[in-house]
Amino acid sequence: MTSLGLAWRTARRYRARTLLAVAGVAIIGALLFDMLLLSRGLLASFADLLDSEGFDVRVIASEGLPAMRVPIPGSADLADRIRGMPSVRDVALIRMERARVRRGADRPRVVTLVGRTQSGVGPWTVVRGASLSYGPVGSARASGERDSASLPSERGDCPVVIGRNLATAFALEPGSSLDVTATPAGIASALPSVACRVVGLVDFGFAGVDEYAVATTMDAFEAIVAEPSHGEADLILVASRAESGGGAAAARAIAGLRPDLRVYSNEDVVAQFNRNGFAYFRQISFVLSSLTMSFAFLLVATLLTVSINQRLGEIAALRALGIGRRRIAAMLLWESALLVGAGALLALPLGGVLALLLDHILRQMPGLPERLHFFVFEPRALVIHVVLFVITAAAAAAYPVWLTSRLPIAATLRREVVG
Amino acid sequence: MQWACHNPAMLTFVAALACAIALDAAPDVLVSRQLAARAHLTVGDTVTLAADANGARARTFRVAGVYEPTPDPMRFTAERIEGRLHLPDLIALTADPHDPASAESVNTINMTLAPGIDTRRFIADLASQAPGVTGWPTARSRDDDPFVVLDRFHLAISVVTVVGSTAFLLALMVIRAEERRDTIAILRMVGISRRSLLTSVAVEGLVTAIAGAIFGVALAFTTEGLVNRIFQTRYDTALVFVRVTPALAWRAVAVAAPLGIAAGLAASWTLLRRNILSLFRR
């Protein structure tokens, strides 16, 4: 009989303890697997969220997230210059403001109002209806230009796309109308409402779970905030050409145009997020991974050692029958591998379910984008999981193997008989 | 000169005038410990501050002290490279000369309400009297506190760990019960009842679990300082990351004790429910 066969028989003979040990390893393994998913999950999800917008360079006026609006002076001219660069494929100007939305007699809702110029790539996914329309295809104009001389409110033209939260709150559909009033932070204002028309329901990438978001054209935005076109955006998004060196090269070139601004490629943003916002989860993931591995090692090693101590007579008898040290050691290794292997395998689906639960808990954090996740599967997590459990199985079997290899056969058998 | 300027008895009129001019020309600034270390600053040094990177409208300040920034769990990963100025000095440094209103503007006004005043009501009154001003209570509600969410996350992880370790404990107790199969058979043979044996197992489980929990709490208590030092050094902060409180220790014991008893009873019951002959493998 092979060592694997012997190990399998032992596992079947002591069924209860085997099942309990496998269950223990599976639960601890699930936690380890989740910590591996967490170790880069938020970062991977954040990078995916940035990339899904289709833009890979961001230009802002100040570092961090200012509480007050920090406009980019001369952003329309800057956008035109950026658009003229050979490494750039597309440019969009973004403005954001706080606003209040009212529909009929319903309680008004505070929303994040986004205005953006036309661009080929969209930062949202249309769920129902259409996206914002900027006129005939091919008439893409420079960022600072307007569709016509009149303001949209004068033309009665304020198309908006809304997030699903707002659509649910007001029972809105494409074609519905709503009144939007800008309420700029930090200044006293009493701006009139602008009647807008919902053209589509969309998923905003960066909108929070409980956030109401509305996006419109830059013309309509300026009508709502009652500002003529200053060409001062809060954010300029740039899509680079991959063949010209990608986002990093484009960011360097744009920074050369305006040294007073902050220019970040998606990689820069992710790296900054990794240094600051993500550090806590990286630390807790490392600490808990180390703890769970130590825990699994200690417990499997203890189980095997106690089990071997109970079976010393049996092992001495096997040795007396002529089964060599190596086969006994291989049997113990297989026993460890069966316990740890079965537990680690079960840990994967269990870890998946647990990850959903933990992700649900963490995503209740206020202000978190709806599409951001903490636990993201990556093949490397699976590889590390397997490698760590192979090491654990081998390390946990080391002491019992050493114990049995030094076992005096005659003395042990005699002790068993006398006992 | 520094000493003389701060000892009026030593001053002549001219010296006093010179000191007044010197001190007036260099208002005080407090710098954070991290900034002092980074820029090699000590108390009494003179530094130049400007609101923009070009150094326009720079002013000279005297370092009057070095302070430890108040630990902020929301910003513990941020480098606290900061300084504190008197408000008029900050406004003079940052105000836009072409915008008279900027010399009268501040970002935030902190206030303490008189006892009995309802915060929400006050904020609503403020918003109606000063449009554009937004008030926030400094006390977070449970809905918008990220630490409440983190607390739930840690609790969920603790529950998983406890469930996993209970499975292992049960496996160990099963092995231990198997080891004592012959002993139990003999005890049953001489007339000791199942109830007495179960009670003894329960007491043994209780003692083992409490001993384990006390060891765990003692381990946590002794490593608390080490863990805090590691993270405080890593993030250069005075924030306390781990604190083993009596309530936490009691909770650990309260969870461990019933689990230990239950594991002991469950493992032993597989043997105790059998008849005596089967315990002797007959």
Residue B118 domain-assigned? no
Q: What is the pLDDT of residues A84-137, one digit of tens each?
A: 888 888 888 888 888 989 888 778 888 989 888 876 666 788 888 888 876 543
Residue B135 domain-assigned? no
Rg (CA), chain B: 34
**Is residue B168 domain-shared with residue B243, that is, in the same domain?**
yes
Residue B163 in tokens: 């469930």
Residue B253 domain-assigned? yes
Please say whether the beta carbons of A143 and A91 come within 8 A.
yes
Give yes or no for residue A156 having a pLDDT over 50. Answer: yes
- What pLDDT shows up at residue A353? 95
Q: How confident is the model at residue A65 (pLDDT cuts 50, 70, 90)?
A: very low
In chain A, which residues have their Cβ closer than 8 Å to the Cβ of B74? Answer: none
Q: Which residue has the higher pLDDT, A232 or A384?
A: A384
Q: What is the pLDDT of residues A69-80, one digit of tens each?
A: 577 888 888 888
Q: How many CA atoms lie within 13 A of A29 on its CB side?
A: 30
Give yes or no for residue B60 having a pLDDT over 60. Answer: yes
Closest CA relative to residue A203, chosen from A132, A131, A124: A124
Residue among B130, B131, B156 minimizing CB distance to A358: B156
Give yes or no for residue A82 having a pLDDT over 80. Answer: yes
**Is residue B46 domain-shared with residue B91, that is, in the same domain?**
yes
Residue B26 in tokens: 């260099």
The two most distant CA atoms of chain A are separated, in Å, by 107
Tell me the nearest-neighbour CA distance from A21 into chain B, angstroms. 6
Closest CA relative to residue A159, chosen from A141, A138, A134: A134
How confident is the model over B9-18, as a mean pLDDT? Answer: 43
How confident is the model over B170-174, as a mean pLDDT? Answer: 81
**Is residue B93 domain-shared with residue B216, that is, in the same domain?**
no
How confident is the model over A146-168, as a mean pLDDT? Answer: 67
Cβ A27–B107 below 8 Å, yes or no? no
Cβ B153–A362 below 8 Å, yes or no? yes
What whole-number distance in Å separates Cα of residue A273 and Cα of residue B68?
25
Give yes or no for residue B210 having a pLDDT over 50. Answer: yes
**Is residue B275 domain-shared with residue B226, that is, in the same domain?**
yes
> Which of B111, B138, B166 marks a domain boundary?
B111
Residue B136 domain-assigned? no
> Which of B67, B88, B111 marks a domain boundary?
B111
Query: What's the one-letter identity of residue A153?
Result: S
Residue among A31, A186, A357 minimizing CB distance to B132: A186
Looking at A182-186, A279-283, B19-23, B275-279, which range is the least confident one? Answer: B19-23
**Is residue B72 domain-shared with residue B176, that is, in the same domain?**
no
Max mean pLDDT range (A311-320, B93-102, B140-149, B269-278): A311-320
Residue A251, H or E segment: helix A246-257
What whole-number distance in Å separates Cα of residue B256 and Cα of residue B265?
14
Tell me the nearest-neighbour CA distance from A133 into chain B, angstroms. 32
Q: Helix H segments across A100-193?
A: 152-155, 164-170
What whole-number distance in Å separates Cα of residue A290 and Cα of residue A285?
8
Q: What is the pLDDT of residues B242-269, one digit of tens each?
A: 889 999 899 888 888 888 888 888 888 8
Phi, psi of A26 (to 5 degrees): -65, -45
**Is residue B73 domain-shared with residue B187, that is, in the same domain?**
no
Closest CA relative to residue A41, chosen from A366, A344, A363, A365: A363
Count: domains in chain B:
2
Tell me the nearest-neighbour CA distance from A129 into chain B, angstroms. 33
> Which of B85, B111, B137 marks a domain boundary?
B111
What residues make up the domain containing B217? 146-279
Taking the Cβ of residue A418 and every Cβ of chain B, the question of whether any pair is shorter than 8 Å is answered with no
**Is residue B57 domain-shared with residue B104, that is, in the same domain?**
yes
In chain A, which residues have their Cβ closer than 8 Å to the Cβ of B170? Answer: 20
**Is residue B152 domain-shared with residue B88, that is, in the same domain?**
no
Residue B48 domain-assigned? yes
Residue A294, H or E segment: helix A279-310
Tell me the nearest-neighbour CA distance from B71 into chain A, angstroms. 15
- What pLDDT shows up at residue A187? 64
Cβ B174–A279 below 8 Å, yes or no? no
Q: What is the pLDDT of residues A327-363, one digit of tens each?
A: 888 888 888 888 889 999 999 999 999 999 999 998 8
How confident is the model over A266-289, as a mean pLDDT? Answer: 80
Q: How confident is the model at residue B2 (pLDDT cuts 50, 70, 90)?
A: very low
- Our measurement of the distance from residue B282's CA atom to the centroid of its chain's CA atoms, rounded to an integer in Å, reads 61
Q: How confident is the model at residue B183 (pLDDT cuts 50, 70, 90)?
A: confident
Angle subtended at Cα B85 by Cα B79 and Cα B90, rounded to the nearest 5 degrees:
105
Cβ B144–A31 below 8 Å, yes or no? no
Residue B117 domain-assigned? no
- What pLDDT shows up at residue A400? 87
Cβ A190–B167 below 8 Å, yes or no? no
ipTM of this complex? 0.73
Residue B248 domain-assigned? yes
- What pLDDT shows up at residue A157? 80
Q: How confident is the model at residue A229 (pLDDT cuts 50, 70, 90)?
A: low
Q: What is the pLDDT of residues B17-42, one digit of tens each?
A: 444 445 556 899 999 999 999 999 99
What whole-number distance in Å separates Cα of residue A196 and Cα of residue A180?
7
Q: Helix H segments across B78-193?
A: 87-94, 119-129, 146-179, 181-189
Q: What is the pLDDT of residues B128-145, one digit of tens each?
A: 887 767 788 887 666 667
Q: Which residue has the higher pLDDT, B10 or B62?
A: B62
- What pLDDT shows up at residue A63? 61
Q: What is the pLDDT of residues B212-232, one digit of tens each?
A: 888 989 999 999 999 899 888
Compare all CA atoms of chain B with the CA of A343 and give the residue at the minimum distance. B164
**Is residue B81 domain-shared with residue B10, that is, in the same domain?**
yes
Give yes or no for residue A309 having a pLDDT over 70. Answer: yes
